[in-house]
Structure formats: C-alpha cells, structure tokens
Amino acid sequence: MLDKTFSITAIVLLGMLMIGPGTVQADEYQELEWLELMPEEEAEQWMSEQGAVDHSGFEPPDPFQSYRTVSSLDGKKARIPGFVVPVEVDERGRMHEFFLVPYFGACIHVPPPPANQIIYGRMDEPIDVVDIWDAFWMEGELKIEEVENETAASAYTMAVSRLELY
C-alpha cells in the first residue's frame, strides 16, 4: 500500500513539474484575438460591413478606417497571431521593424485593415526576414501609439520579445 501511494504521489509531482513551467509562461502573456483591439461596437460594425463587400470587381470597397483603441490593453504583455509585413530590411536581409496583420496579403495584395487592426512591431535585435506566407505568434508589450508610413497605419505598437511560427 505504501509503495502504491508513493508511486501515485511521485507521478502527480512529476506531472506538476512538467506542466508548471509552461503554465507560468503561458499565463505571463494575455492571448488576444484581433477584434479585441477594437471597441466592441466598432468591431460589430466592421464585421457587418465585411459581408457587404461587392466582389464583382466593378466597385472598389470603401476602406473602413479607425484609430479607436481599447485603453485597457495599453502596457499589457500580449500574445497575438498574425502575418508579418516587413517595413525595414537592412543590407544583410534582416528586419528590425514590421507590421503584424490579421490575414495574409493585408497591406500588400489588398487594402490594409483599419489602423486598430495592425500592430507595428519593433525588435531590439534584428532577425532574418521571415516568410510572409507563414503565420506567427508575436509576444511583447502592447502600446497605444500611432505609426504611419506609405504601406499602412497602425494604432498599436509592440516591443516584441518573441516572434515564433504559429
């Protein structure tokens, strides 16, 4: 009986050790979905307008634009999935700054999403340019800050601590 109790206790403790570190790290960042970056009433409006787009090719859609943000997200440690659009690439093919967008092709092949659906990522250390076809998780401190260039405008920035494949 003592051996059986010891074995069960050892298995439970081993399981806690294996699960524990991952749980602490996962809890460190708040996982966000893109619509959480918009005020709720605006997200509903944007989603309803997306279904009304004319796909015939005759009439270009009026772009939906908004810089309205969610103030409670300012300064949050966040984790969000998306696609990378490089902004600056150095002579060695490395990027230091980029836009993270919610869907492939945004800012390149199709009109950009609203500014509050784009995050401007800044990395302390540049990394090799990533494949824009791949989805990534981006983690770091989210800030409400407007950035605009010839590609797009964003209402949020992030000091990126990690960028990894989705």
Q: For residue range 97-129, what is the model confidence (pLDDT) as tens digits?
A: 999 999 987 766 677 899 999 999 999 999 999
**Angstrom distance (rounded) from CA 7 to CA 13:** 10
Structure tokens at 143: 């800030």
Instruction: Flag whether the pTM goes above 0.95.
Output: no
Question: What topology is assigned to 33-165 in CATH?
Answer: OB fold (Dihydrolipoamide Acetyltransferase, E2P) (2.40.50)
Phi, psi torsion values for 21, nearest 5 degrees: -60, -40
Contact 90, 111 (CB under 8 A): no
Q: Give CA–CA dist 155/109, Å, rounded.
A: 21
Q: Give me the mean pLDDT over the 9-31 stretch.
A: 50
Give domain limits for the chain: 1-31, 33-165
Q: Which residues of 32-62 are buried (b: 16+ CB within 10 A; e: fewer)?
A: bebeebbeeebbeebeeeeeeeeeeeeeeee
Residue-wise pLDDT tens digits, 73-104 = 999 999 999 999 999 889 999 999 999 999 98
Residue 78 in contact with residue 139, Cβ under 8 Å?
yes
Q: How confident is the model at residue 153 (pLDDT cuts 50, 70, 90)?
A: very high
